[in-house]
Amino acid sequence: MAAKTQGFQKQKRSSSILLNLTLSIICFIWLLPVIGLLVTSFRNSTDIFTSGWWTIFPHREYQNTRQIVLDPSVDVNGPITVEGVTATFDEFRDGVTAPNGEQLTWYGNRRTRTIDVAERVWVGFNTNLSLKNYISVLSGKSVTFTDATGREVITRGPSLGSAFLNSLAVTIPATIIPILIAAFAAYGFAWLNFPGRKLLFILVVAMLVVPLQTALVPILQDYTRLNLNGTFLAIWLAHTGFGLPLAVYLLFNYIALLPREILESAFLDGASNFTIFTQLILPLSIPALASFAIFQFLWVWNDFLVALIFLGDKNRVVTSALANLVGERGQDWHLLTAGAFVSMLLPLIVFLALQRYFVRGMMAGSVKG
Amino acid sequence: MENYVEDKPKRKGGVITWLVTNLSRILISLVVPIGLFVILWQGFLFLRDSNAPQIVLVLVAIVWGVGGVAALFWVTNWLVEKMPKEWTRRIQPYVFVGPAIAIIAWFLFIPAVRTLILSFQNDISNKWIGFANYIFAFTDRVMLDAFRNNLLWLVFGTFFSVALGLIIAVLADRSRYETIYKVLIFIPMAISFVGAGVIWKFIYAYQGLGVGVKEIGLLNAIVVGLGGTAQPWLTQGPWNNFLLIIIMVWLQTGFAMVIISSAVKGIPAELLEAARVDGANEFRIFFTIIIPSIAGTLITVTTTIVIFSLKLFDVVYVMTGGNFGTNVIANEFYLQRFTYGNAGRASAIAIVLLIATTPVMIYNLRQFNERRAF
């Protein structure tokens, strides 16, 4: 008996190692681009465009050690022998590896008669990394120009700090409002009887497929008429509108499958619909509410298009500030990568905070699936 | 509660008492909503015109927005519940679903109808041209390419996102380090695509052939390291589509994983334990218990990602701009609408997109019926 248990545990442990290994490999692949982004965010703009980000890690690479200038008597059109290697010009141009591991590469065109000798050497950690990108992102990008009187002027652009606050003012209500409205609607569609219920629900879900780009221009016109442009209310309403179909759909899926018995007994106890909804449905739906909250938060936080159109420059949010960092010719990628990292922190915190609501047991025995 | 109030005057019989009770009820019913509207309106004016410090404005905005919506629901429901019982029963459902319907109508339904109308008009919407835009949408080579690509996105993007999301959710559920794995898979979603686009450009970057050229793209560096030659990945069809689909899978797996994971958590532990005690192996448990238990969620997630893949725009727009045979319907819509300024064609494309998703929706509604959700 004891031996059997031990064997069972051993098997369990080895399968747990396999499990964690599989997950680690998947996670590593998933993380690779993120590591690239992180490394890039510490590098300066010239490095970014001249070498791969992974070159900051120790690796072997060819480095030119010396040059050989061929004697004028050597015929460069035929096979050439240099340092015991015989090859044609074309082969040298593509690089030839000598028996001792050195690489010989022709420098320039035929007439230069010069060959670069490169040796394969270990390169350690690249230390050309700095926090400069983060500093300029957080304190505002500085722009230097010469004014009419010939003086050099340095001005700072808007910093991410104020954009951060605006993003909060946009995102928190634009996450909670649609969830509240959608939860009410999902309960209505799932548990209340009224004429047109099915048709209205089909229409709501069908609106999932409307590309939001079709709505931008008409809504902008409405807002101009209502004098709402640039206000927080305008952008909350827009995000609510675009997020509602999915919210209703997801929450309906959850709320409709709550056990009928719970609701019926509450009804028999004389509870009103409003009480049932606030006291019973909302607490029971927390996992569904939390998972939708995570995504709505993310989408609104990372949204660029809707904010650009309805907020404009008045209350600039993080994504607009980031896009502004790219520069007119898209040259400032080093700032963009740092900004992307800074702006990623809050969604991650929200995820971590809400993640604890996905606990086993909360719905134990009450979900039929 | 309502019955109590209603019965009261009849029992007492006095006209004056009846009047006073009812008048005060009506007065309260009027004062509360009006008071709420005044407060909300003042809040709106304050937010729009005030020059208070930003932090104050932000806090007021959050409280005003969230509190306002909750208060509106509460007051409306309070009013409805004050009515005679029969009325309450009839009106209350609309208090619950009404706001959602109204907002969706304003922001999506009416624009969709307008789009339908525009799709039968010419590029500047001043002449009716019948089905010409639809003929373009179904026969033009650009559109046919976009359809083919969208099909690739739909099939491969959805399959891999859902499958990986499911595998990770189920595996992570059994690991001690669940949160760590889930956070790592989730990270791509947290990065705005403005930033994530940059890193994928660095992965597929191609520097060109030549002596001394060092690849800065990760994929090319790996290929060269393995003895191959660097490729201009994003310009070579049809494989470039798959390279873009990888980006979508990278982004969307987190979504599938989170939703599926919350469903997996809903499977009663006793059910799994019982199966294990009965000697079922893990594969059996996966296919006979886990999958059927979360079937509803799997359909939801798949539907959402199918629709997402049909509407997909930003990945293509940022990476290739729809060139090199990677165009998709939503990108062509964007180009027609905002680059070429052809409202008619753009609208027809949007309507085609809407029609393309109807089978998915019909399937879903059938599912609702089968599960007796309605």
Q: Left (φ > 0), alpha (ψ -120 to 50) or beta: where does B14 sit? A: beta
**What confidence score (pLDDT) does residue B283 get?**
83
- What whole-number distance in Å separates Cα of residue B203 and Cα of residue B287? 37
B111–A304: do the CB atoms touch at under 8 Å? no
**What confidence score (pLDDT) does residue A135 get?**
79
From A74's Cα to the closest Cα of chain B, the distance in A is 23
Shared domain for A260 and A286, answered yes or no, is yes
| pLDDT at residue A175 tops 80 | yes
B215 touches chain A (CB under 8 A): yes
| pLDDT at residue A156 tops 70 | no
**What confidence score (pLDDT) does residue B358 get?**
79
Q: How many domains does chain A have?
A: 3
Residues of A in contact with B54 (CB under 8 A): 162, 165-166
Pick B171's closest partner by Cβ from A23, A198, A361: A23
Pick A355's closest partner by Cβ from B70, B182, B214: B182
Shared domain for A114 and A245, answered yes or no, is no
Which residue type does A289 have? Answer: L
Say if residues A347 and A355 touch (Cβ distance below 8 Å).
no
Residue of higher predicted confidence among B296 and B211: B296
ipTM exceeding 0.90? no
Coil vs helix vs strand at A141: coil
The neighbour count for residue A63, using CB atoms within 10 Å, is 11
- What whole-number distance in Å separates Cα of residue A274 and Cα of residue B270? 33
CA gyration radius, chain A: 31
Comparing A140-154, B62-76, B178-192, which segment has the lowest mean pLDDT? A140-154
B367 touches chain A (CB under 8 A): no
| pLDDT at residue A312 tops 60 | yes
Say if residues B200 and A84 touch (Cβ distance below 8 Å).
no
**What confidence score (pLDDT) does residue A6 get?**
55
**pLDDT exceeding 90 applies to what percent of chain A?**
11
Residues of B in contact with A290 (CB under 8 A): 262
| pLDDT at residue A325 tops 80 | no
Shared domain for A107 and A173, answered yes or no, is no
Beta-carbon contacts of B159 under 8 Å, excluding residues fewer than 6 positions away, are: none
**pLDDT exceeding 70 applies to what percent of chain A?**
86
CA geometry: angle A360, A362, A368, nearest 5 deg? 90
- What whole-number distance in Å separates Cα of residue B71 and Cα of residue A177? 12
Tokens in use for A280? 């019973």
Shared domain for A197 and A290, answered yes or no, is yes
pLDDT level of residue A244 (50, 70, 90 thresholds): very high
| pLDDT at residue A128 tops 80 | no
Shared domain for A213 and A283, answered yes or no, is yes
Domain containing A343 equals 160-355
- Segment A353-369 shows an average pLDDT of 53
**What confidence score (pLDDT) does residue A367 get?**
42
B175–A19: do the CB atoms touch at under 8 Å? yes
Residues of A in contact with B261 (CB under 8 A): 358
Pick B296's closest partner by Cβ from A209, A215, A257: A257
A23–B106: do the CB atoms touch at under 8 Å? no
Say if residues B164 and B256 touch (Cβ distance below 8 Å).
yes
**What confidence score (pLDDT) does residue B249 get?**
93
- Segment B126-153 shows an average pLDDT of 90
pLDDT level of residue B211 (50, 70, 90 thresholds): low
pLDDT in tens, A20-30: 898 999 999 99
- What whole-number distance in Å separates Cα of residue A16 and Cα of residue A9? 10
- Segment A18-46 shows an average pLDDT of 87
C-alpha distances in angstroms, A60 versus A84, A122, B202, B218, B372?
24, 4, 21, 16, 64
CB pairs under 8 A between A and B: 359
The span from the first CA to the last CA of chain A, in angstroms, equals 38
| pLDDT at residue B271 tops 70 | yes
- Segment B62-89 shows an average pLDDT of 86
Say if residues A144 and B34 touch (Cβ distance below 8 Å).
no
Shared domain for A213 and A307, answered yes or no, is yes
Say if residues B22 and B9 touch (Cβ distance below 8 Å).
yes
**What confidence score (pLDDT) does residue B162 get?**
95
Nearest residue on chain B to A167, alpha-carbon basis: B58
Q: Mutating which of B265, B293, B333 best tests the A interface, going by the most A Cβ atoms within 10 A?
A: B265
Nearest residue on chain B to A163, alpha-carbon basis: B54
In a domain, A368, yes or no: no
A301–B304: do the CB atoms touch at under 8 Å? no
Shared domain for A249 and A170, answered yes or no, is yes
Residues of A in contact with B202 (CB under 8 A): 36, 40, 52-53
Relative to beta strand A96-97, strand A152-156 is unpaired
User: Which residue among A32, A50, A68 closes a domain?
Assistant: A50
From A72's Cα to the closest Cα of chain B, the distance in A is 24
User: Which residue among A28, A50, A72 closes a domain?
Assistant: A50
Pick B100's closest partner by Cβ from A19, A169, A182: A182
Nearest residue on chain B to A278, alpha-carbon basis: B74
pLDDT in tens, B291-323: 888 888 888 889 889 988 888 887 888 788 888
| pLDDT at residue B22 tops 60 | yes
**What confidence score (pLDDT) does residue A174 get?**
92
B261 touches chain A (CB under 8 A): yes
- Segment B338-344 shows an average pLDDT of 85
pLDDT in tens, A194-224: 888 888 988 888 888 787 777 887 888 888 8
Task: Enter the pTM of the model.
Answer: 0.79
For B174, phi then psi, to 5°, come to -100, 0
The mean of the pLDDT values for chain A is 79
Shared domain for A69 and A180, answered yes or no, is no
pLDDT in tens, A131-142: 777 877 777 666
Instruction: Say which DSSP state B128 is in.
Output: B
From A145's Cα to the closest Cα of chain B, the distance in A is 27
Shared domain for A46 and A78, answered yes or no, is no
A193–B262: do the CB atoms touch at under 8 Å? no
From A149's Cα to the closest Cα of chain B, the distance in A is 35
Among candidate residues B260, B164, B173, the one with its CA nearest the CA of residue A29: B164
- What whole-number distance in Å separates Cα of residue A167 and Cα of residue B1? 44
Say if residues B70 and B76 touch (Cβ distance below 8 Å).
no
CA geometry: angle B85, A192, B101, nearest 5 deg? 105
Superfamily covering domain B132-370: MetI-like (1.10.3720.10)
CA geometry: angle A149, A328, A156, nearest 5 deg? 50
Domain extents in chain B = 2-82, 132-370
In a domain, A364, yes or no: no
**What confidence score (pLDDT) does residue B56 get?**
84
- Segment A8-25 shows an average pLDDT of 78
Which residue type does A150 have? Answer: G
Write down the residue that tokens 């208090």 correspond to: B95
In a domain, A149, yes or no: no
In a domain, A131, yes or no: no
| pLDDT at residue A181 tops 90 | yes
In a domain, A222, yes or no: yes
A298–B99: do the CB atoms touch at under 8 Å? no
Shared domain for A24 and A77, answered yes or no, is no
Shared domain for A29 and A69, answered yes or no, is no
- What whole-number distance in Å separates Cα of residue B220 and Cα of residue B230? 5
Shared domain for A189 and A250, answered yes or no, is yes
Nearest residue on chain A to B200, alpha-carbon basis: A33
In a domain, A132, yes or no: no
**What confidence score (pLDDT) does residue A28 get?**
92
From B18's Cα to the closest Cα of chain A, the distance in A is 26
pLDDT in tens, B236-261: 877 889 999 999 999 889 889 988 88
**What confidence score (pLDDT) does residue B3 get?**
46
Pick B107's closest partner by Cβ from A188, A211, A219: A219
pLDDT in tens, A61-91: 777 777 777 777 777 777 777 777 777 777 7
Peptide bond into B268 cis (omega under 30): no
Pick B73's closest partner by Cβ from A184, A193, A344: A184
Say if residues A350 and A294 touch (Cβ distance below 8 Å).
yes
